[in-house]
Amino acid sequence: MSVGQGHHVRHWAEGGPTRLSNLVLLCRRHHRAVHEEGYQVTRGPDGALQFRRPNEWELPEVPPTPPPPPEPDQALRARHEALGLLLHARTACPQWLGERLDVDWALGALNPLAAPHPRAAEHEPHDPEGAAATT
């Protein structure tokens, strides 16, 4: 796994020297974006790098991440409590009993625009009093 790829700010084919002042380390994805997707990297007079989209718009700097609170776990618990969330060790445990997943039903349930599956009625909760029909 490579950490980064060296990129000539002024391409060597255009006379750009291979020295640190003309190189920048980019991840593979961003190096490809510069060479194949039209993104640009330039170095300003102050030495700062500037990144531009293919339409020439400058990409804004990402603001620095705020420092974490002194007691991050307590802050997170307080935030959850303020939101009314009750989280515990089993919160993320599914209540699944090991049966096979009915993919058609699952996708139909997740996509309200999907046509109902012919077996959808099999998965509807049983309502002997007909309360679901009156709501």
| 79 located within any domain | no
In this prediction, residue 96 carries a pLDDT of 77
Tens-digit pLDDT profile for residues 49-92: 899 999 999 988 888 888 988 999 999 999 999 999 988 888 87
| 11 located within any domain | yes
Question: Is the separation of the CB atoms in 30 and 45 below 8 Å?
Answer: no
Task: Please give the residue that has the higher pLDDT: either 131 or 90.
Answer: 90
Task: Please give the residue that has the higher pLDDT: either 112 or 57.
Answer: 57
Sign (positive/negative) of CA torsion 7, 11, 15, 16? negative
In this prediction, residue 107 carries a pLDDT of 80
| 10 located within any domain | yes
User: Residue 20: which domain range?
Assistant: 5-52
Task: Please give the residue that has the higher pLDDT: either 134 or 32.
Answer: 32
| 40 located within any domain | yes
- What is the number of structural domains in the chain? 1
In this prediction, residue 9 carries a pLDDT of 92
Q: Is 7 a residue whose pLDDT tops 70?
A: yes
pTM over 0.75: no
| 105 located within any domain | no
Task: Please give the residue that has the higher pLDDT: either 35 or 105.
Answer: 35
Residue 114 CA: distances (Å) to CA of 37, 104, 120, 125? 35, 10, 12, 20
